[in-house]
Structure 1
Amino acid sequence: MQKEALDLIVSIISASVFVLLLMIAVFSLFRIYLKRKNTLLQEKQRMAVQFEQTLLQSKLEIQEQTFADISREIHDNIGQVLSLARINLNTLNVPADNNKINLVDELMEKAITDLRNLSHSLDSDMIRNKGWLEPTQRLLRDLEKTGKYTARLIISENPPTLGHDRPIILFRMIQEVINNIIKHAGANSIDLHVSKDKEHLTIIIKDNGKGFSKEKSSAGAGLRNLENRARMIAADLHIDSEIGAGTTITISVKLEPNE
């Protein structure tokens, strides 16, 4: 009788140990499954981000190549044609109204200067060599020359050049913001603040235009371009706008070591 009871106890203990080991095995397999699932999800997300970055980079390269082609066309052909026309105008020997000739000469000189500035703003290599700040200053000066805008650049500290490709993307973002202001804001004043701390370069572009409601406004192509370019340089983009109170756009670029 005691032997039967002992056998029963051993059987129960053995069964319990087996069930416990089985539960541990199932739990371990479940943990391995979850870990692998999370790893696969993370890898999928990483590949999706990488694909998006590659796609954006390809679009940027195509765009910059187009800009480079246009820049060369302006410099090599249109600019030269205007320069030759101006030379011929100033060597006319027929009697004419000097005031009109001088006016045409001034207009052609302005056209040549504007085309040269446009060519420089489209030239990616020039932006790489000189950085993003110089073309930004030129862009604001050109705005003021129109007589329609007051454009101020406030720099609290000498900003970094940001390396090889980032200055191009940052300048294109600034161009996009300025173009949106010209097209949609109805502003006559633009302030661009540049500041830097140990970790970030911050650019704040503020206008006194009509503003817009972010809740009622769907993101247009301009804002989508800004968001895409911000992701390419790992920058934070913040848009603050109210109807009747203008718009403020903040671009914060994380700096690399030693920048």
Structure 2
Amino acid sequence: MDILLYMQNETAKIAILVAIATLIFLLMPVFLILYIRSYNRHKKNHFVEKQLMQETFSAEMLKAKVEVQDQTMQSIATDLHDNVGQLLSLTTLTLNSVNLNDTEKAAKKIENSLSLVNKSIKELRELAKLLHGEQLVSEGIGYAIEQEVNWLSKSGVFQLKVQNELTRLEHFSPDKDLIILRLMQEIINNIIKHAQATHIEINAYLENDKLFLNIAEDGVGFDYDNAKKNNTGMGLSSIRKRMEMINGKLMLNSTVGQGTSISLEIPYP
């Protein structure tokens, strides 16, 4: 009797195990189908997100390129008016004052006029190079920064202290270079328009596969926390957005009445 009961229990256990195994066997395809559907859905969403990110980046690149070209054209127009125009006007005045009866003075003035014409030609050649906006970054971010510093120096408004170690770079990252250049232009424009600064210090270098661009000035400063909270103040939103796109870090310190310093840290290349 006990043996019979034992066999019945064992049979029941086996039946239960068979039923569980059968249920698992039947449910496995269902779970597999659900998993495949979930995987494909996530894969599709990832592809759409990636495509959207690529489109956003491409649009931002185009925007940055247009802004760089606009900024370059403004710089060229200013230099034509303030520098080349002044040289040519001075040349005209000098030539008009030549008295051919006074051979010695005439020769001196003609020599001075030729010198002014040569300076004008040199300036025009530099401007001609910049008419091709792509060249600003095609020769590397170090060259592009150097050109921006040259424009800033010509204004004669600021005392500059510049250390640009990026001119020695052998490998470039054109897409990032364009964004970095636009970031620098945006920061410099903000200084010119708002800071009321007299001194600007620019430090650019590469360290541990990271590009650092530090810009400090001694202007009026502002309340950064308040500006960040209200999403206002010197195009900070645009600067932060562009830094996020190239996986960079933005560090800004500003004190009212004591100036502002901005540090950009960007993986490079």
Q: Compute the displacement of 1:195 (Å).
A: 2.2
Aligned positions, number: 241
Which deviations, in whole Å up to 9, do the C-alpha atoms of 1:56-100 show, x marking residues without a partner? Answer: 1232344456567778888999988776655433332599xxxxx
Gapped regions of structure 1 (runs ≥ 5): 96-104
Partner of 1:131: 140
Partner of 1:248: 261
Q: In 2, distance between residues paired with 1:93 and 1:147? A: 29
Question: Residue 30 and residue 214 in structure 1: after superposition, are their counterparts in 2 closer, same or farther (change >3 A)?
Answer: farther
Question: Residue 118 and residue 216 in structure 1: after superposition, are their counterparts in 2 closer, same or farther (change >3 A)?
Answer: farther
Which deviations, in whole Å up to 9, do the C-alpha atoms of 1:91-129 show, x marking residues without a partner? Answer: 32599xxxxxxxxx9xx99xx79x857776664244245
Q: Let me know the Cα RMSD of the aligned residues.
A: 4.4
Partner of 1:54: 58
Q: In 1, distance between residues paired with 2:128 and 2:148? A: 12
- Calculate the TM-score normalised by the size of structure 1: 0.67
Gapped regions of structure 2 (runs ≥ 5): 100-112
Partner of 2:49: 45
Q: In 2, distance between residues paired with 1:209 and 1:198? A: 32
Question: Residue 66 and residue 193 in structure 1: after superposition, are their counterparts in 2 closer, same or farther (change >3 A)?
Answer: closer
- Calculate the TM-score normalised by the size of structure 2: 0.65
More helix by share: 2
Partner of 1:154: 163
Q: In 2, distance between residues paired with 1:210 and 1:74? A: 26
Q: In 1, distance between residues paired with 2:222 and 2:214? A: 18
Partner of 2:107: none
Question: Residue 219 and residue 71 in structure 1: after superposition, are their counterparts in 2 closer, same or farther (change >3 A)?
Answer: closer
Q: Compute the displacement of 1:151 (Å).
A: 1.4
Please say if residues 241 and 247 of structure 1, whose CA atoms lie closer than 8 Å, have aligned partners that are also in contact.
yes
1:207 to 217, 221, 244: 217
Q: Compute the displacement of 1:238 (Å).
A: 0.7
1:237 to 234, 246, 249: 249
Partner of 2:106: none
Question: Residue 66 and residue 246 in structure 1: after superposition, are their counterparts in 2 closer, same or farther (change >3 A)?
Answer: closer
Please say if residues 74 and 119 of structure 1, whose CA atoms lie closer than 8 Å, have aligned partners that are also in contact.
no
Partner of 1:98: none
1:188 aligns with 2:201: no
Q: Compute the displacement of 1:46 (Å).
A: 0.8
Q: In 2, distance between residues paired with 1:178 and 1:199? A: 25
Question: Residue 255 and residue 53 in structure 1: after superposition, are their counterparts in 2 closer, same or farther (change >3 A)?
Answer: same
1:18 aligns with 2:25: no
Partner of 2:92: 88
1:175 aligns with 2:185: yes
